[in-house]
């Protein structure tokens, strides 16, 4: 991932599609979006575009976390069923 020294310098056209981002990339970009919005002094259209991008990034992160949660639950279920099988022997 390319790190920007100043998030205000990031051109909107250079944004990668959210679906292509890893969890870490999406999380880091979301933090930059929040930082820019909190600083204020943005034109309304820019602020709205950032907000919309932030919403997409947040949803993408949530999907990653949901998938990770499901994988953990499946692993626990497998571990529990193999422990039950060993106890039955």
CB 58 within 8 A of CB 20: no
What pLDDT, on the 0 to 100 scale, is given for residue 83? 66
Is 16 domain-assigned?
no
Is 2 domain-assigned?
no
Is 46 domain-assigned?
yes
Is 45 domain-assigned?
yes
Q: What are phi and psi of 71, to 5 degrees?
A: -65, -40
pLDDT at 46 over 70: yes
What pLDDT, on the 0 to 100 scale, is given for residue 19? 95
Is 3 domain-assigned?
no
pTM of the predicted model over 0.95: no
pLDDT at 61 over 90: yes
Is 39 domain-assigned?
yes
The stretch 72-87 carries a mean pLDDT of 82
Is 1 domain-assigned?
no
What pLDDT, on the 0 to 100 scale, is given for residue 14? 60
Domain range for 56 = 21-88
What pLDDT, on the 0 to 100 scale, is given for residue 80? 82
Q: How far apart are CA 30 and CA 72, in angstroms?
A: 25
Per residue in 8-40, pLDDT (tens digit) is: 444 443 689 999 999 999 999 999 999 999 999
User: How many structural domains does the chain have?
Assistant: 1
């Amino acid at each position: 991932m390319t790190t920007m020294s100043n998030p205000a310098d990031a051109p909107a056209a250079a944004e990668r599609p959210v679906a292509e981002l890893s969890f870490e990339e999406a999380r880091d970009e979301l933090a930059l979006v929040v930082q820019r919005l909190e600083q204020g002094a943005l034109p309304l259209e820019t602020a709205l575009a950032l907000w919309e991008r932030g919403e997409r990034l947040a949803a993408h992160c949530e999907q990653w976390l949901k998938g990770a949660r499901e994988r953990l639950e499946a692993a626990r279920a497998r571990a529990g069923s193999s422990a039950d099988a060993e106890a039955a022997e």
